[in-house]
Structure 1
Amino acid sequence: MINRVTHQTVQRSTLANLQLNLDRMSGLQGKLSSGKVITKPSDDPAGTAQALQLRADKRGVEQAARNASDGAAWLTTIDSALTTSLGSLRRARDLTVQGANGAAGQQARQAIAMEIEGLRDALLSQANTTYLGRSVFAGTSGAGSAFTMTPATAGPPATPPVYAFTGGEGTVERRLAPDAVVRVDVDGSAAFGAPGSTVFEVLDRIAADLRAGGDVAQHLSAIDTRMEAMLGELAGVGTRHRQVMDAQQGIEKSLMDLKGSIAEVEDIDFAAVIVELQSQEVSYQAALGATSRVLQPSLMDFLR
């Protein structure tokens, strides 16, 4: 059986092909203008799922990068505070040795005592160092400072200054990876001493003995103990800082790899799309030419 072909059938077929070419060209133009292979999930469901997972991984790595940057800032702040504190404590030890010299007169001992009290205040300021409003030596405590001082009273009875540690029991940590967490704070009582044996109280006793004419050499061992404790904490800070820096390098590489993977899934090959678009434009122009010829003859055509 022979199917009957009419002008209307040819027109419908030609217009359908013309619309198909136009749709393909529109899709290519959309890819070229957006620079993306996937403009909607239906373009590539599998690629869309892969892109979403890669972007989720990228957000996790970016958060780890922020954590590492914040942790590095905490540890840098602590390193500076402990280094400065060690310098002050070394100076206090030198002054104590100088004050223990029997040749020093009372006026010289008084001057040494005043300088030691100045170093005590400087150490207290370093012990209360903060980063973004949080004390770096108070753990998870919400207190604005790690140590507080109740001034001495003249009496009677006279009382020495009282120092209290306000730090919390928890530690401040930053997650650098799903299985890697680093501590970014330092226990103030470990670095500067617990109440009753703080470096501030040691220096207060030295200053009092200097004014009273007592033997201050007995306090050298206490200063050495506090210096050893600070050095130990400083070494720990250095180790953790190196860990954070190494993690930052790994995070940076992971971020670059993820960006490359996302680009492979989502981004177009501009050269290939341009060539395909030009080819499709030629095809569309040819389809337009064919469509223009599909015209049903009129009565005037027959009369001519």
Structure 2
Amino acid sequence: MRVTQSMLTNNMLRNLSNSYERLGKYQDQLNTQKKITKPSDDPVVAIKGMRYRTDLKEIEQYQRNLSEAYTWMESADDAMDKMTQALHRVRELTVQASTGTNGPDEKANIAVEIEQLKEHIATIANTKVGNKFIFNGTNTTEAPVDLATSNISMSNSDVLLEVSKGIHMNVNVKAKDLLQGSNTNDIFTELDHLINDLNSDGDVGKYLDTIDSHVSNVVANRADLGARYNRIELIDERLGSQEVIATKIISENEDAEMEKVIINLTTAEAVHRAALGVGAKIMQPTLMDFLR
């Protein structure tokens, strides 16, 4: 086959173009510190990167859900702690009123304080986080307790948050479980009876067992919430480990090895300069060069 000057020239220009492309590739890797800048550079790396990033986004969403769960559960735990303190105070006052050393006026004064404690417990039961009532199940827009109508929410719905793939945790305490539990009457009904007996100078010692039962019920609900909270912490720790692993995998899949990139770029530059030198010799002078 006859090789012409134009063939040599075209081959040289094509090889120079390929050399420029390699230089551009290594310069992009050096600037971005990534193996690829577009999917066509390496479809396998691109597809793996999309899958790994999806996993990382899921982990980040679960962590946001956990933050919401922490808010609900910590607020509920604090509310139940304050409710327990209020019930202990009611018990102290009931013991004081049942000793027989207090007359009708003293019992009436105790009744006034217990009335205030009852309203305080109702306020605790209507605790809100942001604009959501946390003791009324999924019906977060309505207060679970309305003393004016003596109404207590009977919602049995759980507030479930997905905290890991396929794992939904209940983060709320229902008002009925908290304020009544296995007792015959709810806290407010019992306190109303207690206040009436105090104002009528009746026997109030009989309410001590009932108050103790309600205290135990609040403590039991708090313990149940604490057990769920401990599991949330374990899941949070696991998600933290998964986030580190996912980030590492993404880095290994996409990040360029800078030492290797610098070596490749230096080698490509040397090859390109050599190609230019050879090309200058291939481009032989023509008649036009002499006619200038």
Matched, 1:187 2:185: no
Q: How does 1:266-285 map to 2 (within 5 A)?
A: 266-285=254-273
Q: CA deviation at 1:204?
A: 1.9
Percent identity for Structure 1 against Structure 2: 29
Alpha-carbon spacing, 1:291–1:71, altered in 2? closer, same or farther (3 Å) = same
Moved more, 140-149 or 71-80: 140-149
Q: 1:226 aligns with which of 214, 220, 239?
A: 214
In the other structure, the counterpart of 2:26 is 28
Given residue 28 of structure 2, which amino acid in structure 1 is its aligned partner? Answer: G
Distance, in Å, in 2 between the alignment partners of 1:301 and 1:136 is 89
* Structure 1 counterpart SS, 2:85: helix
User: What does residue 9 of structure 2 align with?
Assistant: 11
| Structure 1: gaps (5+ residues) | 151-161
Corresponding position: 1:198 with 2:186? yes
Q: Which amino acid aligns with 2:219?
A: L
Q: CA 1:300–1:72 in structure 2 vs 1: closer, same or farther (change >3 Å)?
A: closer
- Aligned partner of 2:238 in structure 1 is 250
Supply the distance in 1 between the matched residues of 2:175 and 2:290 (Cα, whole angstroms).
Answer: 106
- C-alpha distance 31-167 of structure 1, shift in aligned 2 (>3 A): farther
- Is 1:52 matched with 2:39? no
SS of the counterpart of 1:182? strand
| TM-score where L is the length of structure 2 | 0.94
Distance 1:98 1:193 in 2: 24
Q: Whole-Å Cα distance in 1 between the matches of residues 285 and 152 of structure 2?
A: 102
Structure 2 Cα separation of the partners of residues 33 and 63 of structure 1? 31
1:293 corresponds to which of 277, 281, 285: 281
* Alpha-carbon separation, structure 1, partners of 2:91 and 2:20: 87
Distance in structure 2 (CA, Å) of the matches to 1:139 and 1:47: 46
With normalisation by structure 1, the TM-score equals: 0.90
Taking the aligned partners of 1:270 and 1:240, their CA distance within structure 2 comes to 46
Q: Distance in 2 between matches of 1:283 and 1:107?
A: 105
Aligned length: 290
Task: State which of 125, 128, 151 in structure 1 corresponds to 2:126.
Answer: 128
SS in 2 for 1:214: coil
Shift of 1:135: 1.2
1:143 and 1:167 in contact (8 A); partners too: no
Q: Sort the Cα spacing of 1:301 and 1:172 in 2 relative to 1 into closer, same or farther, 3 A.
A: closer
Q: How does 1:118-157 map to 2 (within 5 A)?
A: 118-150=116-148
Give, in whole Å, the separation in 1 of the partners of 2:268 and 2:155.
Answer: 70
Tell me which residue corresponds to 2:62. 64
2-side partners of 1:169 and 1:300: how far apart?
Answer: 96
The verdict on how the C-alpha distance between 1:242 and 1:248 changes in structure 2, with shifts beyond 3 A counting, is: same
Q: Secondary structure at the match of 2:150?
A: strand
Gaps of 5+ in 2: none
- The aligned counterpart of 1:217 is 205
1: CA distance, partners of 2:219 / 2:289: 106
Distance (Å, rounded) in 2 between the aligned partners of 1:291 and 1:35? 32
The question of whether the paired residues in 2 share the 8 Å contact of 1:143 and 1:166 is answered with no
**C-alpha separation in 1, matches of 2:59 and 2:262:** 34
| Cα distance in 2 for residues equivalent to 1:92 and 1:286 | 94
Contact 2:94 2:205 (C-alpha < 8 Å) held by counterparts = yes
Deviation per CA, 1:77-98, whole angstroms, max 9, x where unpaired? Answer: 0000001000000010010000
Question: What are the Cα deviations for residues 214-260 of structure 1, in whole angstroms up to 9, with x where unaligned?
Answer: 01111112111111110110000100000111100000110110011
Greater mean alpha carbon deviation, residues 167-176 or residues 210-219: 167-176
Q: Choose which of 211, 227, 237 in structure 1 pairs with 2:225.
A: 237
Q: 1:167 to 1:129 in 2, by over 3 A?
A: farther
**Other-structure match for 1:96:** 94
* Aligned counterparts of 1:196 and 1:145: Cα–Cα separation in 2: 22
Cα root mean square deviation, aligned: 1.9
